Amino acid sequence: MTASMSFLLERLHAAGLTDVVAVEPASGGLAATAGLAHRGDGTQVFVKAFREPPSEDAFAAEAEGLTVLRETGGGATPEILLADRDVLVLSVLRPRPDTAAFWEQFAHVLAHLHTTTRHARFGWHRDNWLGRRRQVNTWEDDGFEFFAQHRLLRWLGEPRVQQALGPADRAALERLCDRLPELLPVRPACLTHGDLWSLNLMATPDGRPALIDPAVSYTWAEVDLAHLWTTSPPPEANGFFELYAELTGLDRDWRERMPILQLRQHLAVTAQFDPDWGAADLVRATLAPFRRRH
């Protein structure tokens, strides 16, 4: 067993799951160590842990997000078996089947989440986490103000973002934020997954779409859509976007808005990872029209 898997085994035993006999690596998350734990009775559970937790409540906030997506939004999520400071234990899901039928089913799931959970304000009752960085969810009445302050400008103080973006880039982001009411339509707040890249979509044991690793808040539905749109979904997902647009009444210009809305996630990736898989380059490309010409 590798050192990482031994670490997970120790965390599970310390949390009282002493019947776990082995842990094997699991693919997926980038911020925490994850594994598939084998129990003495032959069953399996999914486990993840931070060697240095970013906060006392990181896993509690994640468990809360999974619960609200299921109970309020009507989506499938893994069962929460244990969530404390040091470890999160969930029921096991299946890899998603990349078929057109599965993605069409998910279009209905996401449309239901976004159209049945509208809220008067933007934010959440607590901050939560994108990887190892805090997602600020301070309540705001105005969606443009919320997105500008807590989803875009919030990242400018991060050391990696300061290294990646020069003064002209930062000034361009501020100008973009000032112009958000011109660039984006007025939209209501709704419950969003908050970290909806394609690897955070899996399947239940009976094959239904299931969501993992949320960073929930009430904000624009298109923030979720943009994240999927720009994180390389498979070709079988093409019908998902058309069906989601039909089910939610999206206008024809929604694709043009995706780069602006996805700035938030590109900034979050830039802040946390080296290499950043081109995220900083994408930020600079989106900001290019907002740079002042000398």
Q: Find out whether 62 and 128 touch, Cβ atoms under 8 Å.
A: yes
* Cα 76 to Cα 44: distance, rounded to the nearest angstrom: 19
| Residues in Cβ contact with 103 at an 8 Å cutoff, skipping those fewer than 6 apart | 233, 236, 237, 239, 240
d(CA 80, CA 89): 6
Of 257, 121, 119, 118, which is closest to residue 182 (Cα–Cα)? 257
DSSP assigned state of 150? I
Cα distances (angstroms) measured from residue 158 to each of 162, 165, 255: 6, 11, 29
pLDDT of residue 29: 61
Could you report the per-residue pLDDT of 219-240, keeping only the tens digit for each? 999 999 999 998 878 889 989 9
**Residue reference for tokens 């309540």:** 139
Strand partners, 22: 38
List, for the chain, all residue ranges whose pLDDT scores fall below the cut of 50: 294
Structure tokens at 120: 């008067």
The label of the residue with tokens 């002209």 reads 168
Predicted pLDDT at 188: 97
Which pLDDT does position 26 carry in this prediction? 86
Distance in angstroms (rounded) separating the CA atoms of residues 220 and 53: 29
Output the CA–CA distances (angstroms, integers) from residue 189 to 116, 127, 180, 217, 257, in the order listed: 11, 17, 16, 9, 17
245 CB neighbour count, 10 Å cutoff:
17
Cα 220 from chain centroid (whole Å): 14
Distance CA 121, CA 112 (A): 19
Map residue 283 onto helix, strand or coil. helix
Residue-level pLDDT at 30:
65
HSE toward the beta carbon, residue 127, CA cutoff 13 A: 16
Query: For residues 134 and 68, what is the distance between their CA atoms, to the nearest angstrom?
Result: 19
Complete DSSP assignment for 194-215: S---GGGEEE-TTS-EEE-S--
DSSP string over 200-256: GEEE-TTS-EEE-S---EEE-HHHHHHHHHTS---GGGHHHHHHHHHHHT--TTHHH
